[in-house]
Structure formats: C-alpha cells, structure tokens
C-alpha cells in the first residue's frame, strides 16, 4: 500500500472489509436478519490507526503489515515500544508517548483518534463488549504486533512444516530457548515468522511460555500432537 496516512487507512480498511467474514443472524424477537462482522470494525480501525501513528518511518525496511488467518488478524508496524515498556503496558491506562507527535496531532485534529494514548484501551473494551477473546500485543526487535481473535478454537490451527517438526522433536516437559530455534531455522524464515511459529504453538496449547526477555523459555506441554 502506498500513499499518505489517510490513503493507507482507507486502503487497509477496504482490504479488511473484503477479507473479514460477515455473520448473518436471525433474532427470535423480531425475526429480522442482522449482519455483523466476525471482528469489530472499530477495533480493526483503531489497530490500523495505531500502526500508522506509531510506525517507525526512518528505516529503509520500515513498514506496516496486515495478516488475516482463520482465527485471528495480525496488524504489525515497524518500530519498538518506548524504552522500558512491555506489551502488557498497552493493556493498562498509560501516558501518551507518540513516536510521530506531528502525525498524531494531525490525526487527532482530523477526528481519526479521539484521545491520544487511548486507542489500545478502546480496542480492549470493544472486544470485551463483543464477547471476543482479549487482544494481544507483542513486541520484538522488528516492531509491534496487535493480534485480534475471532473466538474460533485455537487448537484448529493449520501448522506449518517447521512447527510440525519442532513438536516431533520435543518431548513432554522439554525446554526450548527461542534463540536456539532462531539459530536452527534462521535460514528458512525471518525472525518475525519464527517468533510467530512459537506464539501459535503456545496459543494452540502445545507450548507453555516461562520468563521474560532473554530468560524466556518454552516448555512442551502434554497436549497431543495434531
């Protein structure tokens, strides 16, 4: 996608509207058919706005990506969180520390954001009121990812060959350091994709995460292989 911030927002929302399923229901009280998206469009729009506003525009490899999966949507933007912040900070009230203050001010004046620093909390509230699983933020050296879930069972994930081989190699209770997995598979995929491998296995119940930062370890659970 190319263009200024407003074009990017419009293009991203059009992409999601084209790829997100619409659920049709008939209410017993009125017998009228009502249509609803499997994801709240308000939450998707906020996620995209956050990615545009907080993206790192300086790097040659900077960017923004939207990935649609059967059970989730991921919105990624280049750029790290403020120093000392962890992804869990985004789930609580927090001060506004915009990476691009001028851009954020323009978005605010155009009415595209209600209050600078409140977007993540609005996403949480919208998903909660829609009775969807809690959104998840993750961060690594490449950028920040927002994951929104549609409530489908995560155990139905279609695993890739790397994930299948990893599960076959690990015994119940065996530990795995992320850096070891990155080292073993670094020639096959980017670190962001390898990190996603581990996150999906954890979401599916095959791995359990212990520790934070450099001390992070994944432990093979007793969940049966898919």
Give 12-38 pLDDT, tens digit per residue: 999 998 888 776 555 555 555 556 778
**Which residue bears the tokens 């992409």?**
15
Give 111-169 pLDDT, tens digit per residue: 877 666 688 999 999 999 998 888 989 888 889 999 998 876 555 557 889 999 999 99
**How confident is the prediction for the chain on average, in pLDDT?**
85
Q: How far apart are CA 73 and CA 10, in angstroms?
A: 17
Are 136 and 178 found together in one domain? no
pLDDT for the residue numbered 197: 93
Give the count of alpha carbons within 13 A of 42, CB side only: 15
Of 112, 131, 151, which marks where a domain is finished?
151
Are 69 and 10 found together in one domain? yes
Owning domain of residue 171: 155-220
Collect all residues with Cβ–Cβ distance below 8 Å to 132 and sequence separation of at least 6: 39, 40, 148, 149, 150, 151
Q: Specify the number of domains making up the chain.
A: 2
Are 197 and 139 found together in one domain? no
Are 210 and 147 found together in one domain? no
∠ Cα 168 171 137 (to 5°)? 80
Lowest-pLDDT choice from 24-28, 42-46, 81-85, 134-138: 24-28
pLDDT for the residue numbered 157: 58
Whether residue 74 is contained in a domain is answered as yes
8 Å CB contact between 55 and 78: yes
Whether residue 226 is contained in a domain is answered as no
CATH number at residue 130: 3.30.565.60
pLDDT for the residue numbered 40: 92
Are 140 and 190 found together in one domain? no
């Amino acid at each position: 996608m190319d263009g200024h911030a407003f074009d990017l927002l419009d293009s991203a929302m059009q992409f999601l509207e084209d790829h997100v399923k619409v659920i049709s229901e008939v209410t017993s009280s009125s017998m009228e058919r009502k249509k609803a998206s499997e994801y709240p469009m308000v939450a998707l729009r906020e996620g995209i706005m956050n990615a545009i506003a907080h993206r790192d525009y300086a790097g040659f490899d900077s960017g923004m990506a939207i990935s649609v999966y059967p059970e989730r949507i991921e919105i990624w933007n280049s750029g790290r969180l403020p120093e000392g912040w962890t992804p869990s900070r985004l789930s609580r009230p927090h001060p506004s520390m915009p990476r691009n203050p001028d851009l954020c001010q323009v978005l605010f004046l155009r009415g595209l954001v209600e209050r600078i620093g409140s977007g993540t909390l609005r996403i949480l509230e919208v998903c909660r009121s829609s009775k969807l699983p809690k959104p998840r933020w993750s961060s690594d050296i490449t950028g920040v990812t927002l994951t929104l879930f549609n409530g489908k069972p995560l155990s139905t994930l279609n695993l890739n060959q790397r994930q299948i081989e990893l599960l076959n190699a690990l015994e119940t209770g065996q530990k795995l350091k992320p850096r070891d997995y990155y080292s073993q598979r670094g020639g096959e995929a980017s670190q962001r994709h390898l990190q996603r491998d581990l996150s999906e296995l954890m979401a599916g119940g095959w791995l359990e995460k212990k520790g934070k930062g450099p001390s992070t370890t994944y432990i093979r659970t007793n969940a049966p292989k898919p």
